[in-house]
C-alpha cells in the first residue's frame, strides 16, 4: 500500500519521504519506482504536511516513541490499517470492542484519519478515474478533526476516487474487515447503503472466515476476482455472471489448497 500511495502522491507532484523499519538502503527499488526519497524512520515525519501509517497493525507499537514529535499539529495522520488476528496476533483492546483506528490513535497519542483501508492495492493502483466518470470508486473517510478529514478527502478526489465523509472515527467500524463496505470497490450511490448495513457483532467472524480462506489462495489469484467476490458478498452484482464465475474460482482455489 505504501508504494502505491507514494506513486499517486508523486504523480500529483508532491515531494515525498518513505521509511520502513530496516532503513533507507532497503528502499531503493521503491524509490526508483515511485520517485520518493527513502529516509530513516526517525526522519520521516519531521515537518511534513501529511503522514501515512501503512504497516501491519501488530507493528504500530514498535514505531519510535518520538515519531510524531516534529510533525506539525495541522498535519493529518492517515491510518490505512486493518486488524487481522491471523496476522497481527490478538490485540486485547480491539478484541474487547475498541475501534481499530481508535486503538492506533491511542498508541500513537494522536488523532488519525481512517482512509484507504477498504480498497485492495490493485484497485488503488489501477482504478482511479476523473471526477464524474461512470464507475468511479467511492471510499469512506472518517476522523474527528474536520480539517484533516477534508484534506484527505480532497487528496482522494485528486487521486481519482470519490470520497464520502463517513463521520467521526467512532463510526469507522462500518468499513473494517468483515463488513459489506470492505473492498467491493463501490460507487458513490452504493457506498452509503453498504455502510448502513454493517453489523458490528458479525464483522469479526466474517473477517476471520475470509482471512482463513485467503491463506488458501495461490499468491497469483487475481485481485480483481477478489473484488468481484467482495461485491457479491456485499449483495452487489448478483445478476452478473462474471461475479458468480469469480466466486466459483475462489471456491475451487480455496478447496484445492
Ligand X SMILES: NC(=O)c1ccc[n+]([C@@H]2O[C@H](COP(=O)([O-])OP(=O)(O)OC[C@H]3O[C@@H](n4cnc5c(N)ncnc54)[C@H](OP(=O)(O)O)[C@@H]3O)[C@@H](O)[C@H]2O)c1
Interacting residues toward ligand X by CB under 6 A: 1-2, 20-22, 26, 41, 54-57, 59, 62-63, 80-82, 116-117, 120-121
57 vs 138, which CB is nearer to ligand X?
57
Name the minimum Å distance from CB 172 to ligand X: 13
54 vs 233, which CB is nearer to ligand X?
54
d(CA 204, CA 114): 18
d(CA 219, CA 225): 13
Which single residue is written with the C-alpha cell 478484541?
Answer: 95
Name the minimum Å distance from CB 57 to ligand X: 5
Name the minimum Å distance from CB 132 to ligand X: 25
Reference 83, options 102, 64, 67, 66; nearest CA is 102
Name the minimum Å distance from CB 123 to ligand X: 8
Angle at 209 between CA 62 and CA 142, to 5 degrees: 55
56 vs 72, which CB is nearer to ligand X?
56
User: Are 115 and 152 spatial neighbours (Cβ–Cβ below 8 Å)?
Assistant: yes
Name the minimum Å distance from CB 143 to ligand X: 16
55 vs 188, which CB is nearer to ligand X?
55
d(CA 153, CA 52): 14
d(CA 219, CA 203): 25
26 vs 215, which CB is nearer to ligand X?
26
Amino acid at each position: 500500500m505504501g508504494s502505491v500511495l507514494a506513486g499517486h502522491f508523486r504523480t500529483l507532484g508532491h515531494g515525498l519521504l518513505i521509511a520502513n523499519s530496516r532503513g533507507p538502503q532497503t528502499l531503493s527499488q521503491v524509490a526508483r519506482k515511485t520517485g520518493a526519497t527513502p529516509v530513516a524512520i526517525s526522519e520521516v515525519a519531521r515537518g511534513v504536511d501529511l503522514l501515512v501509517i501503512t504497516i501491519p497493525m501488530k507493528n504500530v507499537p514498535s514505531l519510535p516513541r518520538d515519531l510524531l514529535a516534529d510533525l506539525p499539529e495541522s498535519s493529518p495522520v492517515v491510518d490505512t490499517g486493518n486488524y487481522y488476528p491471523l496476522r497481527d496476533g490478538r490485540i486485547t483492546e480491539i478484541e474487547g470492542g475498541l475501534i481499530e483506528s481508535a486503538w492506533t490513535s491511542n498508541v500513537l497519542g494522536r488523532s488519525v484519519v481512517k482512509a484507504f483501508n477498504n480498497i485492495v492495492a490493485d484497485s488503488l493502483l489501477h482504478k482511479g478515474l476523473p471526477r464524474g466518470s461512470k464507475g468511479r470508486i467511492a471510499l469512506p473517510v472518517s476522523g474527528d478533526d474536520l480539517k484533516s478529514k477534508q484534506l484527505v478527502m480532497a487528496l482522494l478526489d485528486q487521486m481519482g476516487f470519490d470520497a464520502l465523509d463517513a463521520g467521526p472515527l467512532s463510526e469507522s467500524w462500518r468499513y473494517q474487515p468483515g463488513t459489506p463496505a470492505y473492498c467491493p470497490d463501490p460507487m458513490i450511490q452504493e457506498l452509503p447503503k453498504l455502510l448502513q448495513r454493517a453489523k458490528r457483532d458479525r464483522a469479526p467472524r466474517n473477517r476471520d472466515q475470509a482471512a482463513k480462506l485467503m491463506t488458501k489462495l495461490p499468491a497469483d489469484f487475481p485481485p480483481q476476482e477478489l473484488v468481484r467476490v467482495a461485491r457479491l458478498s456485499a449483495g452487489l452484482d448478483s445478476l452478473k455472471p462474471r461475479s458468480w464465475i469469480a466466486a466459483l474460482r475462489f471456491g475451487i482455489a480455496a478447496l484445492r489448497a
